[in-house]
Structure 1
């Protein structure tokens, strides 16, 4: 981590000596905030919402089963109680696995979306760099500090919207 910070600091120091125009950008956010990003995200958002609803339904069913088992605990034989508890534990594992799989799938959908929008974003960024005569553009997440005037994310969103 120290090496990364030192590399960024050194890059900034060298760039400040040679560069006249430096900017920071959140490329991912610009893509997702643009009109084409908003339009392209509708279907993945719908899929994620459907997955979330299904997961919530499974969780509610699991909670209902747990409550039922708790109510019937005293009336069940020890063997029957243990068998039901085992089934309940298996259902809990199934719901956890389902949640993890849905998170992975949602992340993959977002990555596919970003990947499909990247060419338009790169073209708009290149035009913006040439227009503003920028010498250095850094990812906003990598920079330690950037003046608000140095952040061109909103300009990139506007440029993507204009070009597409």
Structure 2
């Protein structure tokens, strides 16, 4: 690393570390705060209980077992199989892996859509609560944990925001 890079790196470390340790600086994982609420847990439970989701998950488990069985059979018989049989078996394994990948992607997409729906639903309440919390605590800066290498866990307000969201959502539903 040349001298200029070292100087710039050192300056950035000093600038960011002094800003991060300033009084009134807090850490918040906004996504985790929203996805840890009771509302989110209930939404995910509904997804887990959805008949289509259950059927797809069970189908995926079956396909994975079948795929593993095919691989084990192939490995066991590879020395006795003809070249044509090997090609056929490899094709079957590949087809099974494609099915598994398709179904896994489908389930992952459904889960991501459920998460995004929760975030979309809660974002207005989240922003309101965060604004109130910033004013109440006199916060100067709220930083995402992804932007940090380290932060004192005492600076993390994620659980507090989750609790306030739960209270606000409970009050709104009454």
> Fold-level match, TM-score > 0.5?
yes
Q: Secondary structure at the residue paired with 2:150?
A: coil
Q: Which residue of 1 aligns with 2:45?
A: 42
Q: Which residue of 1 aligns with 2:61?
A: 56
Q: Does 1:33 align with 2:6?
A: no
How far did residue 50 of structure 1 move? 5.2
How far did residue 25 of structure 1 move? 0.9
How far did residue 26 of structure 1 move? 1.2
Q: Distance in 2 between matches of 1:70 and 1:145?
A: 47
Q: Superposed, which structure 2 residues align to 1:100-111 within 5 Å?
A: 100-111=105-116
Q: Which residue of 1 aligns with 2:128?
A: 123
Structure of higher RCO (CA pairs closer than 8 Å, 6+ residues apart): 1
RMSD: 3.5
Q: Distance in 1 between matches of 2:76 and 2:49?
A: 37
Q: Distance in 1 between matches of 2:77 and 2:114?
A: 43
Q: Is the 8 A contact 1:41 1:113 kept in 2?
A: no
Q: Which residue of 1 aligns with 2:172?
A: none
Q: Distance in 2 between matches of 1:162 and 1:4?
A: 43
Q: Does 1:132 align with 2:137?
A: yes
- 1:163 pairs, out of 155, 165, 168, with 168
Q: Distance in 1 between matches of 2:167 and 2:14?
A: 34
Q: Secondary structure at the residue paired with 2:146?
A: coil
Between Structure 1 and Structure 2, how many residues are aligned?
Answer: 161
Q: Which runs of 5+ in 1 are unaligned?
A: none
Q: Does 1:82 align with 2:87?
A: yes
Q: Distance in 2 between matches of 1:142 and 1:45?
A: 32
Q: Which runs of 5+ in 2 are unaligned?
A: 170-174
Q: Does 1:112 align with 2:109?
A: no
Q: Distance in 1 between matches of 2:163 and 2:75?
A: 57
Q: Distance in 2 between matches of 1:30 and 1:5?
A: 33
Q: Is the 8 A contact 1:44 1:110 kept in 2?
A: no
Q: Is the 8 A contact 1:24 1:143 kept in 2?
A: no
